[in-house]
Structure 1
Amino acid sequence: MSKQVKETKRGHEPAKVALHPRNVKFDWSKLPLVWIPGEVFASHYVNVLHLLLPEGERWFVKVFSEILPLIEDDQLREDVIGFIGQEGVHAAAHQEVQDYFTDNGLDVRPFAAEIEALFRKILGDRDLTGRAKEEWLIERAAIIAGLEHLTAVLGNWVLNSPALDAAGADETMLDLLRWHGAEEVEHRNVAYDVFQHVDGRYSRRVRSYLLGGTALLVLWWRGAGYLMKNDPTESDPAKRPKAGLIKLIDAERRGLVPGVVRIGWATWKFFLPNYDPSAEGSTAQAVSYLAKSPAALRADAIAERQIAESQIAEGQ
């Protein structure tokens, strides 16, 4: 990792960070389904991420693996390889939470199946060849650039969300969200740089964002409703609370969720012709969190031990 820094309007930022996956592990055995005490809506609103991200991140990996041959810039190619590695670990980490939900009475498989169909069928490979195949690949890369803008926005939010700590949110869940959020901020330029490299048309950027962003928001809201409707912590289905716009506005006001105001402002920034993804969040802050994240520290310790064991084995 480079130790060079440059002065920016956000302070001292690393000039370049070498992207690499961190093989994190989390213990979910004590996770309550409502992991923000007393906040059913806020907990499940954020829990939707565990329904959307596993399949979505795997789709990111597939598309960017396929687009690698179109990337002629060596540095960008290296960044994409690091991006692919990080997104693969993200998918696995959120899949563990999704599986935990189902194993503990909150069966999310029907909703997850819809997400799988979206990414594998509607947004999956088509029987295309030649230029049409390449255009469909670039179109999906453009959608990912827009979605990655939103994930960077969410990452920046969760890294700066003291209200979650004050509310007594589960520490393991917070570490997952902040580790993931920090890596989203860390690699926030990559997807946009790829799109600029292979196409870069402003009209396509806006169109693909509207498609991808709208779909994400609809699925997010539906997912929150699904989780609240099926939450087993209330045994009587008739008494289970429902998702509502007033609840979202209230939870956003109290800093417990990223809501309509933040997403609306993020959308406006993405539509600006001079949009710069590096302006969303701070690499220095992201790297700082990754240096103290319990899960990331465990991953680094395991990696260092494996390297040491390998060196010992080679020396024998």
Structure 2
Amino acid sequence: MTAQTKTDHPESGGIVVRAIPFSFDEDINPVWHPLRPEWSHMANGASLTMPYLEPFLIKTVREALKNASNQQLKEDVHGFMAQEGNHFQNHRRYNEILKRHYPDLSDVEEEMAEDYRKFQKKSLRWRLAYSAGFETMTMGMTEWLIEERRDLFGKADPSVSSLILWHMVEETEHKNVAYDLYEDLYGSYWPRSWGLIRGSFHVAWSSRKGYIRMLKRDGLWNKLGSRLKVWQMVMRFLIKASPAMFRSLVPGYHPSKVQDPIWVSRWTTAYADLPENMIPLLNTTDPDIPAQFVQ
């Protein structure tokens, strides 16, 4: 599949900004993993939050950037903002297709927009702690999604699967930035710890509102078997993500101390070798879902 542009260069500080316009079939099935409808909609709910969460993160770090003291950190912040901007634009493109199937998702979006309007009025320290906290939680999410990619994305739609895993690769690349910016400006332990809890819970709750709407529309939410699968997936996530969250609460913690999944480096290497104008679609029919792209 071809892309309009392919940008493969460090925006700053070694953070690579990839302007990838993922393409989604207008007739794509929102249950993009046919064997896992509940998981499909849980991921769809997370996607729904991105065009509200990530602009909030960008605005917050842009404001904090004015007071940053470290030149390298300033450059990294620019890379962070560029990557996050590309993320939410791709998710928004996919979300517009979702809303054609589930029009009442617009109500959930308005609730999220209102939440972030309120958050924007809070202090910069609060907003930056929320941002650093959420970015810390994504490290656990990345580990889970990549380590269990065979089960979570095997035989699923390659465009949605590739979007999610690309997003996780870049979350790994800029994992230090929001944390370092908070430490540079404030460095206070308890607000950052509260930000981790508040940011993680808020995004998870917002995602839940979205996937419940979709599961209800599909007639699944009131079925015991379907509800159990949702809770099973929640527990799988908590079991995998909680260690990442708890270790971030240990004094002396820093995201750079956490080893990145090997698959991430393999993805970045494969992308660097990708021909011009190609969207990095993964082969989800391969049982291992290797970090190489279908051309």
Same fold (TM over 0.5): yes
1:96 counterpart (68, 93, 97): 93
Quote how far apart the aligned CAs of 1:272 are: 1.2
Q: Which runs of 5+ in 2 are unaligned?
A: 1-7, 279-295
Structure number with bigger Rg: 1
Q: Which residue of 2 aligns with 1:21?
A: 17
1:201 equivalenced with 2:198 (yes/no):
no
CA distance in 2, matches of 1:297, 1:116: 37
SS at match of 1:70: coil
Checking the alignment, whether the CA contact within 8 Å between 1:186 and 1:283 is kept in structure 2 is: no
Q: Which residue of 1 aligns with 2:174?
A: 187
Q: Which runs of 5+ in 1 are unaligned?
A: 3-15, 127-135, 232-236, 303-316
CA distance in 2, matches of 1:58, 1:67: 14
1:35 counterpart (32, 36, 56): 32
Quote how far apart the aligned CAs of 1:263 are: 3.0
1:147 counterpart (92, 111, 134): 134
SS at match of 2:15: coil
Quote how far apart the aligned CAs of 1:81 are: 0.5
CA distance in 2, matches of 1:111, 1:243: 25
Larger deviation: 218-227 or 75-84?
A: 218-227
Checking the alignment, whether the CA contact within 8 Å between 1:21 and 1:85 is kept in structure 2 is: yes
Q: Which residue of 2 aligns with 1:5?
A: none
Structure 2: which amino acid aligns with 1:99?
E
Q: Which residue of 1 aligns with 2:144?
A: 157
Larger deviation: 222-231 or 275-284?
A: 275-284
> 1:91-116 deviations in whole A, cap 9, x for unaligned?
10110111011134454211111111
Matches within 5 A, 1:226-265: 226-231=213-218, 237=219, 241=223, 246-251=228-233, 259-265=237-243
Q: Which residue of 2 aligns with 1:77?
A: 74
CA distance in 2, matches of 1:178, 1:273: 30
Quote how far apart the aligned CAs of 1:261 are: 1.4
Checking the alignment, whether the CA contact within 8 Å between 2:140 and 2:244 is kept in structure 1 is: yes
Larger deviation: 65-74 or 213-222?
A: 213-222
Q: Which residue of 2 aligns with 1:275?
A: 253
Q: Which residue of 2 aligns with 1:124?
A: 120
Structure 1 residues 252, 205: CA separation in 2 closer, same or farther (over 3 Å shift)? closer
Checking the alignment, whether the CA contact within 8 Å between 1:228 and 1:243 is kept in structure 2 is: no
CA distance in 2, matches of 1:17, 1:156: 23
CA distance in 1, matches of 2:262, 2:206: 32
Quote how far apart the aligned CAs of 1:285 are: 3.7
Checking the alignment, whether the CA contact within 8 Å between 2:130 and 2:198 is kept in structure 1 is: yes
Q: Which residue of 1 aligns with 2:56?
A: 59
2:206 counterpart (207, 211, 219): 219
1:86 equivalenced with 2:83 (yes/no):
yes
Aligned residues: 267
Quote how far apart the aligned CAs of 1:222 are: 2.6
Checking the alignment, whether the CA contact within 8 Å between 2:140 and 2:242 is kept in structure 1 is: no
Q: TM-score, normalised by structure 2?
A: 0.80
Checking the alignment, whether the CA contact within 8 Å between 2:31 and 2:41 is kept in structure 1 is: yes
Q: Which residue of 1 aligns with 2:283?
A: none
Quote how far apart the aligned CAs of 1:212 are: 1.9
Question: Pairwise CA RMSD of aligned residues?
Answer: 2.9
Structure 1 residues 276, 292: CA separation in 2 closer, same or farther (over 3 Å shift)? same
